[in-house]
Structure 1
Amino acid sequence: MAWFPRPYGPAMDTSRSRGTTAKTLRSAALAVLLTAGAITVTAPEARGESARTETPVASTSPVAGVAESVVRVKVPLPASFGDRPAACDWLSYLRYRSTDGPAASADADRILVAQPGILEGAGAFDSVARNTVARAAEQGRHIEFWALDRRSNCLEDHAGIASGDEHTAVDYYYRGKQVDGRTFAGYVGNDRLGWMAKLGIEQTVRDQYDLLAAELPDQGLRKRKVLCGGHSLGGVITGYFAAADFDGDPATTTDAGYNQCAGYFALDTTVSTTLGDLSGSMPGDTNLPDVGLGYGVVQAGLDSGVLPRSLSAPVLLNPETMTLLAIAGVGAVQDPGGEADLPSYLPVNTNNEATNRFLFSKDTATFLTGSPAVKDFRLTNAAVLGALLDDNSVPLAFLQSSVGFFDGGPITDKNFPAANGSSQQPGLFGVEYKAIPAQPHGPLYTWRNYDRVGAADDSGYKSADGTPFTNAGKEVTDIGELARSLAQQPLDFTEQYFPTKLVTDLELATSPQVKRLVVHPDGLTVNPTLTVLAGDGLLAGRIPPDLHPVVADGYQHLDVLTAAPVQNNGRPEPTSTNLARFAAEPK
């Protein structure tokens, strides 16, 4: 399956230029960590002979009136990609629709199709998808929300998480114990990822086009009913999709990306063909190659395997730690108020030890000595998950959500890897002060959910400089629902194998090989766009006014996806409310 079978005329660069891609400073602490060795895995095989499968998903979500299913459509990669698991010739998405609405997608009033951000899977859209469908139904409209999974997610082995038991999951991924007769074969090494060397922006937007054409064959219907968008990096992917041409003839435009969409939506991102608006979304200390080498050298390195074909880092950002987030979600669903044993039940290895130190050290001395360690504190399962993803705990902005705060004992400042109130605090680390339990071997630290922050019994914890760590206006996501999205989705919340080529392509946007993909530059502005930005997210302090965005106050980068349907001010959640309103407008 060849895209762009012949060269085009001079390419036009219509990238929004609000600055070059931000280069994050490498933390000195991270530099001393060792990369955990990867081992190979056999990817799950696609089952059945049908070219399309759709399986209902049972859910415990409190949002009523929304049906969910996982859809898989067989769309084989071109032969030029080489050997890959059979499962990787399928595209997958989560389909959300009103239970009172039509069974056929083509009969829905509108269909929102969402591209995930970096290191993100379809499961991350669970809350915003349900909230948007439900909000539209309240207005008498039956819409659908399709949360797309990138093709590379075919490599993930979800069996341990799907068991629904935290200990079973740890035993499956670490101790060779079977789940339903299946044994975990390990994480996929770079030598098994040769086919991903070609999995860049060109194939990513082609996958979206092929999926839409397969599911909604009538182009006129797509143009009337489909809204294309995404979160974070998904906004840039949407920009390239809008500007793309899919039949090799730029003179015919029914196949153009912008003619597959009635409008665009951007969630804490912009619809563009540049990474300039996503400062802080690209983690530091990953194994990204130096794009200063040029497109040809980078591509040769990916093809040969000299360069890593999947994005990873020694701490937090690798398949093992992405799996750990889901395991913590399982524990928080299973027994949120129960005392956690995950930190001690996990086997000790370089990756786990380094990650735990990075996330749970109050200062540099604690990081270097490893004492006190996370296993020295008594934490509930909910508090473990909060420590991993809350904006007052995790020191990486693109992984932050606002799910509440620690409770149950004394709290102190977390001044590692950046000191609270320092100039390093914004950007990569986020704007909020970081906190950590202060007393090892002491009280059982619990988690105060978002809707109990500011209540009469709230201790109102403050930093050493007197700054309150949080308040009700800055807490927006229900930790129980975040846990459910991590633990109970058939397509993961996180992404274990993010294609390196997808990022290097976008960082090399001015190279001829990437510029040629922008065939219809006017496609980025020909359709109406809804932009919803997190008030404390990636664009905090530099929100471009020309976009006329909706700003969700107090939200972090993930909150635009995970926020609860009713906020602490009693008002409906703004992301889903505005998406439902946008879907109701004539285009």
Structure 2
Amino acid sequence: MDTSRSRGRTAKTLRSTVLAVLLTSGAITVTAPDARGDSARTETPVAVTSAVAGVIESVVRVKIPLPASFGARPAACDWLSYLRYRSSDGPQASADADRILVAQPGILEGAGAFDSVARNTVARAARQGRHIEFWALDRRSNCLEDRTGIASGDQHTAVDYYYRGEQVGGRTFAGFVGNDRLGWMAKLGIEQTVRDQYELLAAELPDQGLRKQKVLCGGHSLGGVITGYFAAADFDGDPGTTSDAGYNQCGGYFALDTTVSTTLGDLSGSVPDDTNLPDVGVGYGAVQAGLDSGVLPRSLSAPVLLNPETMTLLAIAGVGAVQDPGGEADLPAYLPADTDIEATNRFLFSKDTATFLTGSPAVKDFRLTNAAVLGALLDDNSVPLAFLRSSVGFFDGGPITDKNFPAANGSSQQPGLFGVEYKAIPAQPHGPLYTWRNYDRVGAADDPGYRSADGTPFTSAGKEVTDMGELARSLARQPLDFTEQYFPTKLVTDLELATSPQVKQLVVHPEGLTVNPTLTVLAGDGLLAGRIPAGLHPVVADGYQHLDVLTAAAVQNNGRPEPVSTNLAQFAGKPK
């Protein structure tokens, strides 16, 4: 049975569709071993400072080895990890919680990206008298990441560790992992991804009846599609028995700027064509052979923005924004000369094509605070790619001009890729110190109200929803990353090849997609803006970008409760 909303899409169309969801980030104290023993499970408290009180966070690691057929791999990759959030007034045992929300991240996204929405949801439910938990899952391939430099809490130390070979605490960075060392990831597709979730749930909550009663399964972006495959999966090899079926591990589903489905058709947009995603037109067998041999890349990347080396910069920028948000940044000048870093800086900080081609003025020619650097990397009025953006405030402190690269403001050129928001950039190199106006200061009495050359305001209070400090903390202070440096190519190609027999056979229980109630929350300016699928009836968070459904602050500019966490908490109370 075809469980997709749309049929007959070409491989090229599906490639553009899936890549739209690209990214689309604590101090650790004592470890508390589980009753199963030190070798099976660890849970470590995470000590962070957050504006949201009454929430306890820990990082949980459970040993669930891959099958021997995956071949040689680092020992760390036989463990699954997640961030566990619970009420400080609630029960210590997850099984005693009123409800447990289990979230799958989007593509190139890690468990740390859920930090704000998890805290907000748990805290809101507690105020309503319910003690719930939120589990932010980290996919298995994140075992390859090394957080040592970020955990140092110092930008220069982090840069020296990752890019100059300097030691931190006696440890030397082993380097970003090349394709020749990723052989085990050649088989890390949708089948293993949903099985990982099943085995983790079974290990943490052994009672299937309790899972059905208390667990809500969902995700952000591509995580909604993964949830769809999980719901339709059979995990014991016998379709006639259903206690193991995916839909019987959850009492409901939630989708954050996505849909719970086994199709990529509800996600739109694209990224630059220079990603290394294989051409799936050659068929499942040929793609798998290419992954097995290493002829095809086993992790998804691109020269600009989307590779381990440049994504690490997001967390390093977060370190500076936590450490000294108002201090003048020296990160752009301190970074080593590197082709990928230079290309990324030009792509993100060029006002027009001429600036991109010449590299002048460069980002290091502007005086920026640490908060302004992070804003330039992630804010929706700065970042040109729609799926990488949050609404975190605006530049301040000096003259601002239009950013007309890679698309001109006011044009309709590839809106799915670049979005429709006007982009802005500091106008005066070697001039004033550009600061960052946080989301809740946009529209204040002292706001200059920056406008485009055509008179259009760049932003307004209703379009800003994410707090800079909270975003920086999620990037820099979480033990599990905000981003996903080594996303398995096979997970993408499997979903693009959904009609192939090898993938189609995984949808054993298609009825599982609709047998449980579903909450869908869409970003008003996100991936499905203006084209909500018929019959979906979602909650729409006005003014939100794709990442804002995860990062939005608990207190919003309109004085109303934050809509994503509010609706998740309500759904956790009584799924319907």
The TM-score with structure 2 as length reference comes to 0.95
Q: 1:23 to 1:406 in 2, by over 3 A?
A: farther
Query: 1:452-476 CA deviation, whole Å, 9 max, x = no partner?
Result: 0000111111111111100000000
Contact 1:127/1:481, CA 8 A, preserved across alignment: yes
Per mean C-alpha deviation after superposition, the further-off stretch among 418-427 and 241-250 is 418-427
Q: Output the CA distance in 1 between the equivalents of 2:505 and 2:556.
A: 44
Separation (CA, whole Å) in 1 of partners of 2:136 and 2:25: 31
- Work out whether residues 40 and 186 of structure 1, in 8 Å CA contact, stay in contact via their aligned partners in 2: no
Q: Structure 2: 5+ residue runs without aligned partners?
A: none
Asked if structure 1 preserves the Cα contact closer than 8 Å seen for 2:27 and 2:151, the reply is no
Structure 2 Cα separation of the partners of residues 133 and 574 of structure 1: 14
**Contact preservation (8 Å) 2:318, 2:473:** yes
Q: Check the 8 A contact 1:40/1:188 in 2, yes or no.
A: no
- Give the Cα separation in 2 of the matches to 1:247 and 1:467: 58
- Pair 1:164 & 2:186 matched: no
Cα 1:173/1:286, change in 2 over 3 Å:
same
- Which segment drifts farther, 188-197 or 27-36? 27-36
Comparing 13-22 and 109-118, the one that deviates more? 13-22
Superposition deviation, residue 425 in structure 1: 5.2
- Whether the aligned pair in 2 keeps the contact of 1:26 and 1:284 (CA below 8 Å) is no
Q: Offset of 1:544 from its aligned partner? A: 2.0
**How far 1:175 sits from its partner (Å)?**
1.4
Q: 1:60: how far off?
A: 0.5
> Is this contact kept in 2: 1:35–1:313, CA < 8 A?
no
1:224 is matched with 213
Root-mean-square deviation (Å): 4.4
- SS of equivalent residue, structure 1 residue 145: strand
State how far apart, in whole Å, the 2-side matches of 1:43 and 1:445 are: 45
- In the TM superposition, residue 545 of structure 1 has moved relative to its aligned partner by 4.1
Query: Who is 1:530 aligned against?
Result: 519
Aligned CA distance change for structure 1 residues 433 and 25 (closer, same or farther; 3 Å): farther
The answer to whether the 8 A contact 2:66-2:78 is kept is yes
Contact 2:186-2:292 at 8 Å conserved across structures = yes
Query: Could you tell me how far apart the structure 1 residues matched to 2:299 and 2:35 are?
Result: 22
Once the two structures are overlaid, the 10-residue window that deviates more, 112-121 or 277-286, is 277-286
Cα gap change, 1:34 to 1:99, in 2 (>3 Å): closer
Aligned residues of 1:45 and 1:85 also touching (Cα < 8 A): no
Moved more, 431-440 or 282-291: 282-291
Q: Distance in 1 between matches of 2:296 and 2:66?
A: 22
Distance 1:434 1:302, change over 3 A: same
Whether the 8 Å CA contact 1:364–1:417 is kept in 2: the answer is yes
Report the CA distance shift for 1:46/1:176 in structure 2 as closer, same or farther (over 3 A).
Answer: farther
Large movers: runs of 4+ above 6 Å = 24-48
Q: What residue in structure 2 maps to residue 45 of structure 1?
A: 34
C-alpha change, 1:21 and 1:139, in structure 2 (3 Å) is farther
Change over 3 Å in CA distance of 1:200–1:43 after alignment to 2: farther
In structure 2, C-alpha distance between the alignment counterparts of 1:30 and 1:272, rounded to whole Å: 16
Verify the 8 A CA contact 2:231 2:246 in the aligned structure 1.
yes
**Change beyond 3 A, Cα 1:443–1:505:** same
The SS at the match of 1:308 is: coil
Cα distance, 1:74 vs structure 2: 0.2
SS at match of 1:457: coil
Name the CA shift for 1:295/1:158 in 2 (closer, same or farther; >3 Å): same
The aligned runs of 1:438-457 (5 Å cut-off) are 438-457=427-446
The answer for the alignment partner of 1:327 in structure 2 is 316
The CA distance in 1 between the partners of 2:322 and 2:23, in whole Å, is 32
Q: Is the 8 A contact 1:425 1:431 kept in 2?
A: no
Structure 1 counterpart of 2:471: 482
Indicate how the Cα distance of structure 1 residues 234 and 21 shifts in structure 2: closer, same or farther if over 3 A, else same: farther
Q: Is the 8 A contact 2:21 2:387 kept in 1?
A: no
Q: 1:133 to 1:442 in 2, by over 3 A?
A: same
Q: Secondary structure at the match of 2:382?
A: coil
Q: Within 2, Cα distance between the matches of 1:28 and 1:256? A: 28
The CA deviation at 1:17 is 1.3
Over residues 387-411 of structure 1, what are the superposed CA-to-partner deviations in whole Å (9 max), with x where a residue is unaligned?
0000000111111000000000111
Kept in 2: contact 1:222–1:260 (CA 8 A): yes
Residue 561 of structure 1: SS of its match in structure 2? helix
- CA contact under 8 A between 1:41 and 1:188: conserved in structure 2? no
SS in structure 1 opposite 2:82? strand
Instruction: Give me the whole-angstrom Cα distance separating, in 2, the residues matched to 1:167 and 1:458.
Output: 33
State the TM-score, normalizing by the size of structure 1: 0.94
Q: Secondary structure at the match of 2:416?
A: coil
- Report the Cα offset of residue 48 of structure 1: 9.2
Instruction: Report % sequence identity.
Output: 91
Q: Secondary structure at the match of 1:94?
A: strand
Between 416-425 and 279-288, the greater mean CA deviation after superposition: 279-288
Deviates more, 1:506-515 or 1:418-427: 418-427
Deviation at 1:280, TM superposition (A): 2.3
CA shift for structure 1 position 562: 0.2
The answer to whether structure 1 residue 115 and structure 2 residue 104 are counterparts is yes
Q: 1:20, CA displacement in angstroms?
A: 3.6
Is residue 112–residue 480 contact of structure 2 (8 Å, CA) maintained in 1? yes
Q: Is the 8 A contact 1:412 1:437 kept in 2?
A: yes
Q: Is the 8 A contact 2:25 2:478 kept in 1?
A: no
Q: 1:45 to 1:357 in 2, by over 3 A?
A: farther
Contact persistence 2:402–2:453 (CA under 8 A): yes
Q: Is the 8 A contact 2:407 2:413 kept in 1?
A: yes
- Measured against aligned partners, the alpha-carbon deviations of 1:327-370 in whole angstroms (never above 9, x if no partner) come to 00000000000000000000011011100000000000000000
- The 2-side partners of 1:484 and 1:366 are apart by 32
- Is 2:29–2:44's contact at 8 Å kept on the other side of the alignment? no
Instruction: Indicate how the Cα distance of structure 1 residues 21 and 119 shifts in structure 2: closer, same or farther if over 3 A, else same.
Output: farther
**Contact persistence 1:111–1:225 (CA under 8 A):** yes
- Secondary structure in 2 aligned to 1:325? helix
CA distance in 2, matches of 1:30, 1:372: 31
Residues 90 and 283 (structure 1), Cα distance of their counterparts in 2 relative to 1, 3 Å cut: farther
Alpha-carbon offset, residue 277 of structure 1 = 1.2
- CA-to-partner distance for each residue in 1:3-39, whole Å, 9 max, x for gaps? xxxxxxxxx2211218847958999999999999999
| Cα pair distance change 1:327/1:575, threshold 3 Å | same
Cα distance between partner residues in 2 of 1:59 and 1:579: 23
Q: How many Å apart are 1:252 and its aligned residue?
A: 0.2
Q: Secondary structure at the match of 2:320?
A: helix
CA distance in 2, matches of 1:308, 1:242: 29
Local SS of the residue matching 1:69 = strand
Q: Say if 1:396 and 1:430, in contact at 8 Å, map to a contact too.
A: yes
Displacement after TM superposition at 1:424 (Å) = 1.6
CA 1:556–1:292 in 2, change beyond 3 Å: closer, same or farther? same
